[in-house]
Amino acid sequence: MEASNLSLHTWFTAFLLMSATKKGFSCLEFQRQLGLSRYETAFNLMHKIRVVMGKRDAMYMLKGMVEYDEAYVEKATAEKIQNQLKRGKGSQRQVIVAVAAESTPLEDIVTGKKSQHCGFFKMKVLRNETAASIEQFVTNSIDKKSVLTTDKNQASVNLERLVDNHIKVKSSKSAANGELNWVHTAISNLKRNLLGIYHMVSEKYIQNYLDEFVYKLNRRYFGEKLFDRLIIAAIYPYVQHSE
């Protein structure tokens, strides 16, 4: 907010709107709600707040039982070159996103039915789907004492040295509903969110959209407190610096 031409009232209203819904706002609706005359002002304001969200979640590591997989997210591509690019998994039309989720196994003591409880999530755009990129994500996002579950993708089969235990499961429908249930649920919700609200996002800004989605997902039970937490996240680095 420092040196901004926008009023404090506009900033606080922007924080309120960004924390008001789980799904988020389109930039046009955000602009209308704030009464801003320029689309670019609304766009930049939203992304500044998304950066704050991303920095806050970057402070935490995932721990315990952790699921991991990759998502392939469609990005905005110039119409004139769309037909020159291949379709499907690994297409140049897509961005590769690393997705991880804390997953605690549960068992009903009466029925014996097994399930999993999800904790916190992480999502990060990868440069490519290589072992080096995945290992960097795991190092930066998952505590070394964790138990990590992945599929048998060649790029993620040798992660034993980065965590206490690495469990590899065959990629299948049963794995999507079992061992990797929460990452696949998050991926499905992410794609629905991006497509339903923003339609298509550019590769340059997609990490910011991921940061907003994950920030809200990790605080899904905060309710009205989310606004307060977002304000704290915005001022925290400056408070720390002044101390």
Name the DSSP letter for residue 77: -
Does the structure show a pLDDT above 50 at 204? yes
Q: Which of 14, 85, 80 is nearest to 53 (CA)?
A: 14
* 117: confidence class by pLDDT, cuts 50, 70, 90: confident
Does the structure show a pLDDT above 70 at 239? no
Rounded to whole angstroms, the Cα distance separating 238 from 243 reads: 9
Contact 183, 68 (CB under 8 A): yes
Rounded to whole angstroms, the Cα distance separating 124 from 141 reads: 9
Does the structure show a pLDDT above 90 at 80? no
pLDDT of amino acid 172: 72
pLDDT of amino acid 23: 83
Contact 76, 200 (CB under 8 A): yes
Does the structure show a pLDDT above 80 at 14? yes
Rounded to whole angstroms, the Cα distance separating 68 from 103 reads: 10
* 87: confidence class by pLDDT, cuts 50, 70, 90: low
For 151, how many CA atoms within 13 A lie in the half-sphere containing its CB?
A: 20
Domain boundaries, the chain: 8-57+220-242, 65-204
> Side chain identity at 216, as an amino acid letter?
K
pLDDT in tens, 22-65: 888 899 999 999 999 999 999 999 999 999 999 999 999 999 99
Mean pLDDT of 160-188: 86
* 179: confidence class by pLDDT, cuts 50, 70, 90: confident
pLDDT of amino acid 22: 83
pLDDT of amino acid 196: 83
Most confident of 1-5, 137-141, 167-171: 137-141
* 242: confidence class by pLDDT, cuts 50, 70, 90: very low
